[in-house]
Amino acid sequence: MAPRLSRSFYSQPVLRVAEACIGKILVHDTPEGLVAGRIVEAEAYRGPQDAAAHSRGGRRTPRTEAMFGEAGRAYVFMIYGIHYHFNLVAGGVGEPHAVLIRAAEPLAGLDIMRRRRGPAGRGLNVTNGPGKLCQAFGIEAKDYASDLCAGPLYLAEAAPTEILRSPRIGVDYAGSWARKLWRFSEAENPYVSVPPRATLRRK
């Protein structure tokens, strides 16, 4: 496996981190075995100004506390009382910025991923969404605030790829913030959760 990313990667501005995540390798060395996949979709959240962020308006609670700490930590939260979502803390201390990892293309441990996902995890459904990804990778509440620069859950270096920018998903409540092109995805990758609309293309 390639070397893990250092803290300096996560300490960059959140939009830069979100874009640079695409193509990087997400790794989780678990008791059941090692799983890994190429990140193919991610979204940036830049609180406190960002009306779509959990930290909007400077909201600082036990749930959001990890985002106010050092970059390179995991911000894991549960949605709908069922699914976990995995984020990377980015930027500087006191800047509640995070990058949601939405989808990955499996590289290692596919049998483990499928077993965790059960009957619903056939084909692309194994990791083509943030909740599916967390279940497949075994990312749970125990990983909240874990150090991605030292622990069993981390990102590793990989070659750059062609990247698309498009609006984020499921944040219509955020008004004009919902239209910002803060969703990044790998062009033409079938594991991207929802085909991008109104995109900008980058290499």
The residues spanned by each domain of the chain are 7-202
Q: Is the pLDDT of residue 9 over 60?
A: yes
- pTM of this structure: 0.95
Residue 70: partners with Cβ closer than 8 Å, 6 or more residues away: 7, 89, 93
Q: What is the mean pLDDT of residues 65-83?
A: 94
pLDDT band at 195 (very low <50, low <70, confident <90, very high): confident
Cα–Cα distances (Å) from 174 to 48, 52, 62, in that order, read 13, 5, 23
Is the peptide bond prior to 48 cis by the omega test (within 30 degrees of 0)?
Answer: yes
Q: What is the CATH T-level fold of the domain 7-202, as seen in this structure?
A: 3-methyladenine DNA Glycosylase; Chain A (3.10.300)
Q: Which residue has the higher pLDDT, 57 or 164?
A: 164
Picking from 174, 197, 26, the residue whose alpha carbon sits closest to that of residue 103 is 26
Q: What is the mean pLDDT of residues 83-109?
A: 97
Q: Is the pLDDT of residue 162 over 70?
A: yes
